Structure 1
């Protein structure tokens, strides 16, 4: 490994925590803030979509989206995310992290705005247009996953790298929280203006016309943080590890990181408080406990809590809601203080620089394929099995119980596969991937 290149990489590994680290967390984290807002805000507006476009007086569930439409609206973005993770992960290794980073943001901005402008003649056209733009929104979001993780891992030092990557991922919690708060505020403003509390159905069996604006505003608001982040992402230099190890330009890598390490100033930091506790347990403990321990613990605890929800499901369904909520919350706590975070962090560390974004994209896409199964499969299975079994004389909830059991088995499999994952705590990226040994081998003339 050339001396200049080696000095740059060593400087990154041993650098003390500086303002540029936090700047990178905020810039990359705002992408995840936007990702979470865009992906999860759709669940906040589906009920309003049903009331606006599918209200049929006398129907079993008036004002509800048909199951196939609901599954499409909620799940199509996950399909786009999977495709984006694979494509942009590969492209990030070919073109560089910085160039592709801006492309993904622009797709997110344009698709968010276009989602709010989903018009057409009749519900089918509106929902079809919405699904089209939600797919492309997910495509841009998918690219943000491998690129944000890879950039943060290549900027960080080896002592606190896991915590920094986890902090980027933890910004999802703020995005989900902001989506709920913004939806409440917009609804309250329209309710006060048009005297239609909660946009409830009026006696004529329809919502007020202005209700159609609410879901559009909520969806388009996702473009704002993405647009604000674009400028700062374009000011970030390419990561020194990509420049040195992939682009083979050690002098440029040294110049870029010299500027970042010495001239960098703090930007406005978002106060990191009030989000999902599991995320932040990971942030503070992952570089102490290690990735393996946290992931194994998370999978095991999720298995236990899933079974605790599934086996006595009828007990919870008969009105014991507090206990159900507690167990369900603990399941999510250990998902975030567990595999939800570690499966984002580890792929950004264990692969060589020339393949890091590609492999992270594949890993992230594998996880997103599970989300697609959940969005389309488990909901459909639970609803249909509940109806079939109830008609046949079984107690209600049998489909949901079986779905929880399946999830428990999947979590148990995840725990077993964890034993195949190498521990990366405290090691340099080159040490983990073996690139330090490859660089020391003499080249063939």
Structure 2
């Protein structure tokens, strides 16, 4: 084998960002060599990215901002807009209670059930959207689901802006059903943004590349963190609007007119943004179905892949328990934190009756959360830390930060108020720098393409049941009781993560799909690749012995056999004049040097095939195959 052919095999089958020069997978390296290898790859990638950004900046100082806008803001705009509206409901409620005391306050003229429904129906709508649009995304395609979500959210916003009634109770009913309708679109954003963001990480859903392996998590979490910016802008805009319509004063009493104008105008910016989002998804995301379509074509599936759904629950059923259960625990924390913030602020600012003061404290809490979002995005792809540890540490951080004041509430709510404040803000930080970001990513990443949106949507829907749990529970429990109940969901989330969720940090998703192809063909034990490496399996899967088939040498032989089989199929098609040029085939799989090698060895048997990289390194006196 020539040196160029050796390098071609090395580049395709053992890329240097996950294999060392001797052809050893990074997770198989001893600890010292593993740390050294991972840091070397990360440092090299950071230097290349910095050089690329600096080159862009020298040509045009605004170019890096444009790149950030295209790669992170646009993909996450749907989640940013839903974060704006979703959390505005809790932000607006104190204003409604102050401006409409007989309705939202004492509930004398409004039905308490419908007032509570403004929180419950929104969550119910989200659950409906997560399940239904997840199925639609796998059935009709990601692009259709994305367009449908944005359209539903747009009309939901129009309904929220125009919500009215002949009585205040009638207005509350109209407002509640508008939230339900809008929630359906919000729910669909979860599976659609996660799956499309992951599958389009390298552009148009092509097969995995070095960039995808090194930055897939960052691509998805950077889109998800737009939810935090949505919360920030909603709170900031509400403060500005109330100051405008309340004659420059944030102090009570608040008039019904100023409250109505503040509430309705606050929904105008997201309505305009959602309309632009519809345009972008219709005209600028025409190839967002590429990876799903390619997989269905390969498996000869039309419509919804029912067989893959059955196989997913058979082989990955406990992964579903892990992603759905951990999301449930997280949402008890996440939404419970949001619902609890009014009680927290009341402790910090006793005898305060100003809505603005509460909003300013919430704005500070959102800023702390944003630091968590960004740090999660920064570290989520680091192979030495990664998804699973980030999730477990985040859960445990929240557990500790709630359980400590829970068992000494009297002290922390009075003399230790500064410590209490610090713990509350840190709980927001660890929630984003952990489970809230990683559940969104993991619930898409650990499942095959053909049912990815369905599995993500189901996990997210179960998560929203956790939000519903928090909303209901907080109506019947006291503050001290909440501190004794909520922390244990953090501990349960950490245990579910540790036991049932695999760590896909650094795993090439092309390999995960390759394993799924074997499973779907009824040949699970014939797969020997890195997707069943113990590093990328859950504790439960390791206990079951899934990793026993892992064998790098057998896997390499299988990969070469697969490449040869695909090459032979290509030659047959050429003979039938279906293809006329080599460059019409994917360049990464069909390097000219590989073509030359298979042509020269076309009569060879692949049985007992020797590793051409190791064989070449023995025959050629070279210090390293990577040179």
Q: Contact 1:26 / 1:168 at 8 angstroms: preserved in 2?
A: yes
RMSD: 3.3
Matched residue SS, 2:246: helix
Give 2:516's match in structure 1, choosing from 419, 435, 445: 435
Are 1:245 and 2:270 matched, yes or no? no
1:286-301 map, 5 Å:
286-288=380-382, 289-301=385-397
Give the Å deviation of 1:199. Answer: 6.8
Structure 1 or 2, whichever has the larger Rg, is: 2
Q: Contact 1:350 / 1:424 at 8 angstroms: preserved in 2?
A: yes
Give 1:345's match in structure 2, choosing from 441, 451, 474: 441
1:8-19 map, 5 Å:
none
1:18-29 map, 5 Å:
23-29=70-76
Are 1:332 and 2:425 matched, yes or no? no
Give 2:378's aligned residue. 284
Q: Contact 2:368 / 2:425 at 8 angstroms: preserved in 1?
A: no
Spell out, residue by residue over 1:3-56, the C-alpha distance to the aligned partner (whole angstroms, 9 max, x if none). xxxx99x99x99998998962432221111101001011122223323444438
Q: 1:302 to 1:274 in 2, by over 3 A?
A: closer
Give 1:108's aligned residue. 153
Matched residue SS, 1:158: helix
Spell out, residue by residue over 1:91-115, the C-alpha distance to the aligned partner (whole angstroms, 9 max, x if none). 0000000111011001101101111
Q: Contact 2:115 / 2:172 at 8 angstroms: preserved in 1?
A: no
Give 2:573's aligned residue. none
Normalising by the residue count of structure 2, what TM-score does the alignment of the two structures yield? Answer: 0.57
Q: Which has the higher contact order (CA 8 A, sep 6+)?
A: 1
Matched residue SS, 2:288: coil
Q: 1:211 to 1:402 in 2, by over 3 A?
A: closer
Give 1:219's aligned residue. 267
Q: 1:137 to 1:407 in 2, by over 3 A?
A: same
Give 1:256's aligned residue. none
- For residues 120 and 105 of structure 2, the distance between their equivalents in structure 1, rounded to whole angstroms, comes to 24
Give the Å deviation of 1:220. Answer: 3.8
Give 2:475's aligned residue. 380
Are 1:365 and 2:415 matched, yes or no? no
Are 1:35 and 2:71 matched, yes or no? no
1:419-434 map, 5 Å:
419=498, 420-433=500-513, 434=515
Give the Å deviation of 1:214. Answer: 1.8
Give 2:131's aligned residue. 86
- For residues 67 and 396 of structure 2, the distance between their equivalents in structure 1, rounded to whole angstroms, comes to 36
- For residues 172 and 268 of structure 2, the distance between their equivalents in structure 1, rounded to whole angstroms, comes to 16
Give the Å deviation of 1:209. Answer: 3.1
Give 1:175's aligned residue. 230
Q: 1:22 to 1:84 in 2, by over 3 A?
A: same
Give 2:181's aligned residue. 136
Give the Å deviation of 1:120. Answer: 0.9
Q: 1:208 to 1:83 in 2, by over 3 A?
A: closer
Q: 1:286 to 1:201 in 2, by over 3 A?
A: same
- What count of residue pairs does the alignment treat as equivalent? 387
Matched residue SS, 1:120: coil
Matched residue SS, 1:381: coil
Matched residue SS, 2:181: helix
Give the Å deviation of 1:83. Answer: 1.1
Give 1:402's aligned residue. 481
Matched residue SS, 2:456: helix
Give the Å deviation of 1:319. Answer: 5.3
Give the Å deviation of 1:439. Answer: 8.4
Give 2:241's aligned residue. 186
Give the Å deviation of 1:68. Answer: 4.3
Q: Contact 1:89 / 1:358 at 8 angstroms: preserved in 2?
A: yes
Give 2:250's aligned residue. 198
Q: 1:191 to 1:53 in 2, by over 3 A?
A: closer
Give the Å deviation of 1:176. Answer: 0.4
Give the Å deviation of 1:76. Answer: 2.1
Q: 1:247 to 1:144 in 2, by over 3 A?
A: farther
Q: 1:178 to 1:63 in 2, by over 3 A?
A: farther
- For residues 198 and 99 of structure 1, the distance between their equivalents in structure 2, rounded to whole angstroms, comes to 44
- For residues 359 and 62 of structure 1, the distance between their equivalents in structure 2, rounded to whole angstroms, comes to 41
Give 1:160's match in structure 2, choosing from 198, 210, 215: 215
Are 1:228 and 2:280 matched, yes or no? no
Matched residue SS, 1:188: helix
- For residues 65 and 334 of structure 1, the distance between their equivalents in structure 2, rounded to whole angstroms, comes to 38
- For residues 45 and 439 of structure 1, the distance between their equivalents in structure 2, rounded to whole angstroms, comes to 50
Q: Contact 1:37 / 1:179 at 8 angstroms: preserved in 2?
A: yes
- For residues 417 and 249 of structure 1, the distance between their equivalents in structure 2, rounded to whole angstroms, comes to 32
